Amino acid sequence: MSTITFVTGNANKLKEVIQILSSSSATTTTSSSNQVGKFTITNKSVDLDEVQGTIEEVTINKAQAAAAHINGPVLVEDTCLGFKAYNYLPGPYIKWFLQSVGLDGLNKMLSGFEDKSARAICTFGYCEGPGKEVKIFQGITEGKIVPSRGPTNFGWDSVFEPVGFEETYAEMDKSVKNTISHRYRALDKVRDYLLSQ
């Protein structure tokens, strides 16, 4: 049994990742449900430098730095929210925009634009260890930016309404969100890869 360290200090994110990864019938689950095939998923909070660049460059750099720090297999995630009107910025910098302007500010950024459409992108990087190649798994969910609705304790979930739904991510039941979200779509690919190993 090999252990993969998911590098995050966010308990909500860890819970969601484990829930999605262990939701396949082909997956062996234990009472703690952190098994995926022959792998056990654990987590550790590691302070990594955030480089600037494309989503892929940011994720690859993060995975390589994490693998060197942990000295073993790691899974890292980079989540983006891009506004079509801004040519898909803020993108990988959404975390800093959210900290600076808040949920209301994200809406105000689009006040001069008719197009409120947005794209939620989740990119996971898997690296077997220091110096190894980083494998990229990406999921995208199209939606739009709306005034905040629902709990505000999970990033920008309360302002993102996926296409085909009348609820924001924050208003959705987790069992629904975890089958349509950008994170689910990326993790579906991660799970397939891990089960094939």
Task: List the structure tokens of 96.
Answer: 């800093």
- Asked whether the whole model's pTM tops 0.95, one would answer no
The answer to the question of whether 12 is labelled as a binding residue is yes
**Can you give the residue range of the structural domain that contains 179?**
2-196
The answer to the question of whether 47 is labelled as a binding residue is no
The answer to the question of whether 108 is labelled as a binding residue is no
Q: Cα(first)–Cα(last) distance of the chain, in Å?
A: 12
Nearest Cα residue to 196 out of 23, 3, 26:
26
Summarize pLDDT for 124-176 with one digit per residue, the tens.
999 999 999 999 999 999 999 999 999 998 899 999 999 999 999 999 998 89
The answer to the question of whether 9 is labelled as a binding residue is yes
> Contact, 82 vs 118, CB < 8 A?
yes
Strands (E), 84-116: 89-91
Q: Residue 52 — pLDDT band, cuts 50, 70, 90? A: confident
The answer to the question of whether 84 is labelled as a binding residue is no
The answer to the question of whether 178 is labelled as a binding residue is no
The structural domain count of the chain equals 1
The answer to the question of whether 54 is labelled as a binding residue is no
Q: Residue 33 — pLDDT band, cuts 50, 70, 90? A: low
- Cα atoms found within 13 Å of the Cα of residue 12, Cβ hemisphere only: 9
> Contact, 14 vs 173, CB < 8 A?
no
The CATH code of the domain that includes 167 is 3.90.950.10
The answer to the question of whether 96 is labelled as a binding residue is no
Q: What is the mean pLDDT of residues 46-67?
A: 90
Task: List the structure tokens of 77.
Answer: 């995630």
The answer to the question of whether 183 is labelled as a binding residue is yes
